[in-house]
Structure 1
Amino acid sequence: MARRRPKYQVRGGAAAAGAPPLLVLLALWGAVGLAYLFWVAAWAAAELAGGRVGEFGASWTLALVLWETETTWPGVSTPLVVLLFAPMSALALAAVWLLLKVAHRLVYGQPDAVAALNKGNATIAELARPEAAEKALRLRKHSLRKQGRRNRRAARLPEADVGLVIGDVKGQGRGKGPRLFASWEDTVLAYMAPRAGKTTAMAIPYVLDAPGPALATSNKGDVWAATASLREQSTGERVWLFDPQHVTHQQRDFWWDPLAGVRSVEDAYRLSGHFVLTIDDDSKKDMWGPAARALLSQLMLAAALGGESLAKVGEWLHDTKLPQPVDLLFEHGFVAYAEALRETQNIVAETRDGIYTTARTAARCLDDPQIMAWVTPANASVPAFEPREFVKSKETLYLLSKSRAAAAPLIAALTDAVFIAGEEASEGQGGRLDPPLVAVLDEAANICKIADLPDLYSHLGSRGIVPVTILQSYRQGVRVWTENGMEAMWSAATVKVFGAGLDDHKIVEALSKLIGQHDISTTSFSYGEGKGNHSVQLRRQEIMQGSDIRRIEKGECLLFATAAQPALLRMRPWYATGRAGIVSAAIKKAEQSITTEARIGERLRSGRDEADGRGFSGIDGATAVGGSAQPPPRG
């Protein structure tokens, strides 16, 4: 906050002399100062070339004004005096000008927003060393157990073990303050426009620094390209790539069964919610959405109980009279669910068709054989992904899908399955995963629409699961989770990050009010009847107005953390760190793999290259980055 200056007013008298007398006085003293500089220059010339200089005073100054050099500096070269006077006077004028600017800024200048926001911000100390390192040791007492004194261990703790780096507190000019971290019990919510640093400063570093299992969602292959091979090398454990829409053109070397964890009505209803949430037509979702979700949950539960795959649910959705799912529910004791499904099958045709059509729209991925290959049983050489094993490892899982594509429900379902497995595993570890699971949900509002994500935010951090949900705007989240859902997520997120590109005027104005106000001074001066009137008054104003927040530079962000004053930070993208070289090399290698496999896939699809024996069934046949995985047999 700015230093408070008391309001004051001075009127009349010598202290408030008018502008003309003041200017005359300043002009007189300025002339005296220049005359003295001439005397100093003459004295220096006399020392260098010989001669003498008269004593400085009124008579000497008068002689200088009349340019009587024989009186002012007899025997001294006048050109030499002028040559010395020129730089001396220039330096003196520059010094006076800077002094006046500093004095004006101290008395009348307005405090800088960065200084007002970050200076003396003691509330963020918990997010910086050494407090953040001490907290990491407390939260990860098993995985970080070492010999030696506790404070020495905290001092030596690598940044990757302290927490997720948010950025450096911005100082005046190019200065910077302490580095701040999100702890291993925080839940992070970030709002950033495209190309504002969310991938380079958050997604990629967070995956690389994850001390345990890491999960990342994206609609592009950039995070996978930058981190997959490095994660495999650093952890020595497997990298999983779930890419049903061939964003990276890599092979499918595993499959996952979404129905494996479905054993109850609650399980089925939770799974079906990921599908219904992807319906783009809000009117259809509002009218038929609840009934469609109930229908999908009934069919999914029946398929799970009958040992069927998700593909069977797709078949049942296209026949509204099939008795098999009803019979399976009856056989396993889900009488009420069976009756509800049979009632849906037998209601009037218009209503039934509306429910089934909405359900088919939500589950349109079930009609795509290329997508379904990732969630249906394969031959024995292709392993199944087990979320319960994943959360106990240091493996990495990448979930890729194009924005608003058919595969999005499966991305959300697999992410949710990992969260559920993580919660279950934490109960067997004293209530917290150690090492923690880091889940970077980039493009969450487009490809990872977990229905109850706002509710999960209230307790994931306490389980050792650190979600980092990255959205382009607050309104983007409202379209998925509604206003109430986003308010719940906002309240539950312990670390909120706002980057460049915030254009929602309601949000920037709200942030401006949350940042707070500071004192600024206003000055006024008037002159009349030979008297001057000069006043300085203080008024309260927002430290950062909405327009200032909108103009946050790329690579910078506003940080709002629980119980801490907001701070303006400079983020730390991967290319500004010591590992820029190895990440760049990994990206280059991955991009070459993507290009090569994309060309092979194109030739296979066009039927121009069948001699290599690879075959093509809509799934690319590349060897995964790192070279450890082998192409599965093609059917």
Structure 2
Amino acid sequence: MERAMTRAVGPRPGFTTHGATGAWVALLAGWGVVAFFGLIWVAARIAAGLFGGNVGQFGTDFVLEVVEGRTAAAWPGTPTLAVVVVASLLITGALTVVVGAWGFVVGRLPDPVDPVAALADNPGLAALKPDAAERKALELRPYIKGPLMPCDVGLALGDLMHSGPTLYASWEDTIVAFMAPRSGKTTCLSIPYVLSAPGPVIATSNKADLWAATAALRAAEGAVWLFDPQRITYQPQSWWWDPLRGLATVEEAHRLAGHFVLTVDDGTKRDLWGPAAQDLLCALFLAAAYSGRTLRDVAKWLDAPAVPTPAELLEDAEFSLLASSLRGAQNGAVETRDGIYQTARTAAKALRDEAIVSWVTPSTLPVFDPRAFAAGTDALYLLSKSRSAASPLIAALTDTAMRAAERRAERAGGRLDPPMVVCLDEAANICRIADLPELYSHFGSRGIVPVTILQSYEQGVTVWGEAGMAALWGAATRKVIGAGVDSPRLARDLATLVGQHDVPVRSVSYADGRASEQISLRRQDIMEPAAIRALPPGTALLLATGGRPALISLLPWYRSRDADRIQACRDQLEGLIAEGAAR
């Protein structure tokens, strides 16, 4: 009767991959015997040196004398007890060294089912390693003088697990990250990226921790602009921005209106009345911009669907076709007109909140200039609670600053130098830019590095749809998937992208009292979906264009060499937050 058993070799592949166990045992046994008697001879020489006596040459005669118990002939004049004690110590020490060395070697052998080992050999990541990243930085930024600083090289993605070098995204890369809450989004990505940006930086967040940890340090590089209409940091307003400034075309006004309509929570209403509401807001914004009015006037026009003033202003500005479209919406069926205006009012609810509208209407405070921002090294922090009324203004200001940087890059010959870093944390909640996937396709070539951080793939689908999210995924040259991604779909897709490898499988058969062993190879996923979901905090899966996926260890700010400075900045500004909250 024959029985067979098959299993994956584990935990690590053996040295006898062809079943030559007997030969290895015989070889090790033979050399083990030689080593044993060699240690006894060495012990005898040591004992003879300590207590007197003689020891002949090591050879078969010495071995036979020891085996036959003729110790007087093996080490004449030397106490046998001394030889035994010294030999015991030597044999114990030798066994300790051998066992330790064996454990060290075996411990370094790769586990055939270990994804870290399977992904460690990845020639496609050579362009992300420090030397190549420095060469790329000099190529993209030829105006750098002197030795490269760490912030000049690129954005650090993490340390490659096992082999250890830090991998960098270059200044022509675009990044998208999927990380669950409390998995290191701010500590490992946002804070380090804001601090390492060599030029202007935009950072969005729904909490104060990013601003608290970095604002004082960024102040040494340039001005710090804090947009916080909901007083998340409890800091007073110190500037304002005019969304209508420079609004000169229907396309620009339509784009501004789109930021508002995209935040309508009711997807059915947005799809039904959204395009018409966007056209309405476009007309009202353009009428206000050309007549020197403000967003407060736009809010009043939304409450009076029949008022002819906006259409008349458009006619005066020679936008007759847009004026005709506006009159058509005003004079249409009452139910249709009310649906359009109500959707527009819902989209523009920020204009009903005095705490918010004061940030985007004229005041005696300094005014924010996106063009000057793109030319400097300032930092712009945009804070808002998730899905708040201020979200469209955050999206609009981010979009305006990025387009100002793009125009400056075009005037400079194609690239912005120093590059702009745009860190969009909570992008699906507080910074919805409708054509962000399209912007990703060319921002890298302009020296604008967007970093979009999402909690899941599905969260992106709710904003940009299936096609848009697929376009964003495809256009991102660096994709970081961190801990806590609970999307079964994304986990399955990632398992496919990570690929498969050959795993040794041992088959043992028993027949007629004999055992035979055979080793074969089996293809299996390097990382199963469950393993991707269970990535531990502080680690991430990196997908880089042109290379195989890799596992990396993220780099939290509190492990950097600037940790003390960051902590001091954090303590200082958190104290200001506490003081503001106490008022």
Equivalent residue for 1:354? Answer: 339
Bigger drift between 542-551 and 178-187 goes to 542-551
Question: What are the within-5 Å matches in structure 2 for residues 1-400 of structure 1?
Answer: 48-49=50-51, 57=63, 60-61=66-67, 76=79, 78=81, 81=84, 85=88, 88-89=91-92, 91-92=94-95, 95=98, 99=102, 110=112, 112-119=114-121, 121-142=122-143, 144=144, 146=145, 156-171=147-162, 176-233=163-220, 235=221, 237-379=222-364, 382-400=365-383
CA contact 2:65–2:73 (8 Å) conserved in 1: no
Counterparts of 1:572 and 1:365, CA distance in 2: 37
| 1:477 CA displacement | 1.0
Match of 1:449 among 420, 432, 443: 432
| Aligned residue type for 1:81 | V
CA contact (8 A) 1:277 1:451 kept: yes
Counterpart code for 1:245? Q
**Equivalent residue letter for 1:230:** L
Specify the alignment match of 1:631 in structure 2. Answer: none
Check whether the contact 1:7–1:536 (CA below 8 A) recurs between aligned residues: no
In the alignment, what sits opposite 1:615?
Answer: none
CA distance in 2, matches of 1:83, 1:430: 80
C-alpha separation between the residues in 2 aligned to 1:73 and 1:113? 60
Specify every segment of 5 or more residues in structure 1 that has no aligned partner in the other structure, as ranges: 147-152, 601-635
Q: Residues of 2 paired with 1:456 and 1:99: CA distance?
A: 55
Task: Look up the SS of the partner of 1:489 in the other structure.
Answer: helix
Aligned AA (2:198): P
Matches of 1:306 and 1:484 in 2, distance apart?
39
User: Following TM superposition, by how much is the alpha carbon of 1:86 offset from its aligned partner in structure 2, in angstroms?
Assistant: 6.3
Distance 1:97 1:221, change over 3 A: closer
Partner of residue 623, structure 1: none
Alpha-carbon displacement from aligned partner over 1:237-283 (angstroms, at most 9, x marks no partner): 32111111101111111111111132222111111111111122222
TM-score by length of 1: 0.81
Structure 1 distance, partners of 2:290, 2:545, is 44
Give the AA of the match of 1:114. Answer: V
Do 1:7 and 1:538's aligned partners in 2 also have CA atoms closer than 8 Å? Answer: no
CA shift for structure 1 position 416:
0.5
Counterpart-to-counterpart distance in 1, 2:395 and 2:107:
58
Contact 2:405 2:416 in 1 (8 A): yes
User: Counterparts of 1:394 and 1:103 in 2: how far apart (Å)?
Assistant: 52
Question: C-alpha separation between the residues in 1 aligned to 2:492 and 2:459?
Answer: 17
1:423 aligns to what?
Answer: 406
Amino acid at match of 2:304: D
The match for 2:581 among 576, 582, 598 is 598
Q: Which secondary structure state, in structure 1, belongs to the residue aligned with residue 376 of structure 2?
A: coil
Cα pair distance change 1:356/1:578, threshold 3 Å: same
Greater CA deviation, 579-588 or 122-131?
A: 122-131
Aligned amino acid, residue 462 of structure 1? S
- The percentage of aligned residue pairs carrying the same residue is 50
Matched, 1:411 2:394: yes
In 2, the alpha carbon distance for the partners of 1:585 and 1:112 equals 40
Give the superposition deviation at 1:375: 0.5
Distance in 2 (alpha carbons) for counterparts of 1:394 and 1:61: 84
Alpha-carbon distance between aligned partners in 2 of 1:109 and 1:373, rounded to the nearest angstrom? 61
Structure 1 residue 552: Cα displacement: 2.4
Of 500, 505, 508 in structure 1, the residue corresponding to residue 483 of structure 2 is 500
How far apart, CA to CA, are the structure 2 residues paired with 1:36 and 1:131?
52
8 Å contact 2:13–2:112 — kept in the other structure?
Answer: no
More off after superposition, 204-213 vs 385-394: 204-213
User: Would the alpha carbon gap of residues 287 and 73 (structure 1) be closer, same or farther in structure 2, given more than 3 Å must change?
Assistant: farther
For the residue of structure 2 that corresponds to 1:181, the secondary structure is strand
From the superposition, tell whether residues 320 and 459 of structure 1 become closer, same or farther in structure 2 (CA, over 3 Å).
Answer: same
Show CA shifts across 1:350-394 (max 9, x none).
332222222222111111001011001113xx1211111111111
* Alpha-carbon offset, residue 450 of structure 1: 0.7
- Structure-2 change in CA distance of 1:97 and 1:598 (3 Å): closer
CA distance in 1, matches of 2:434, 2:27: 75
Cα distance change of structure 1 residues 31 and 439 upon mapping to structure 2, 3 Å threshold: same
Residues 16 and 531, structure 1, Cα contact 8 Å, conserved in 2: no
Counterpart-to-counterpart distance in 1, 2:130 and 2:199: 22
- 2:7 maps to none
SS of 2:366 mapped into structure 1: coil
Say whether the 8 Å CA contact 1:194–1:472 is kept in structure 2. yes
Q: 1:577 to 1:7 in 2, by over 3 A?
A: closer
Whole-Å separation in 2 of the counterparts to 1:532 and 1:298: 85
| Secondary structure of the corresponding residue to residue 177 of structure 1 | coil
Aligned letter for 1:397? L
Change (3 A) 1:594 1:111: same
Pair 1:42–1:383, CA change in 2 (3 A): same
1:486 aligns with 2:469: yes
User: How big is the shift at 1:335?
Assistant: 2.5
Q: Is the 8 A contact 2:204 2:426 kept in 1?
A: yes
Offset of residue 216 of structure 1: 1.0
Q: Which amino acid aligns with 1:208?
A: L
Could you say what the CA RMSD is over the residues aligned between the two structures, in angstroms? 3.5
In the alignment, is the contact (CA less than 8 A) between 1:188 and 1:466 conserved in 2? yes
String of CA shifts for 1:409-443, please: whole Å, max 9, x gaps. 10000000111111211121112211111111111
SS for the counterpart of 2:434 is coil
SS in 1 for 2:252: helix
CA contact (8 A) 1:16 1:532 kept: no
Instruction: Evaluate the alpha carbon distance shift between residue 587 and residue 564 of structure 1 in structure 2; reply closer, same or farther with a 3 A threshold.
Output: same
1:553 alignment counterpart: 536
Q: Is this contact kept in 1: 2:40–2:83, CA < 8 A?
A: no
Cα pair 1:409 1:447 within 8 Å, conserved: yes
TM-score by length of 2: 0.88
Q: 1:129/1:75 Cα in 2 relative to 1: closer, same or farther (>3 Å)?
A: closer
- Higher mean Cα deviation, 39-48 or 124-133? 39-48
The verdict on how the C-alpha distance between 1:441 and 1:388 changes in structure 2, with shifts beyond 3 A counting, is same
Deviation at 1:294, TM superposition (A): 1.9
Counterpart residue number, 2:4: none
Cα 1:527–1:506 shift into 2, 3 Å:
same
**Secondary structure at the residue paired with 1:459?**
helix
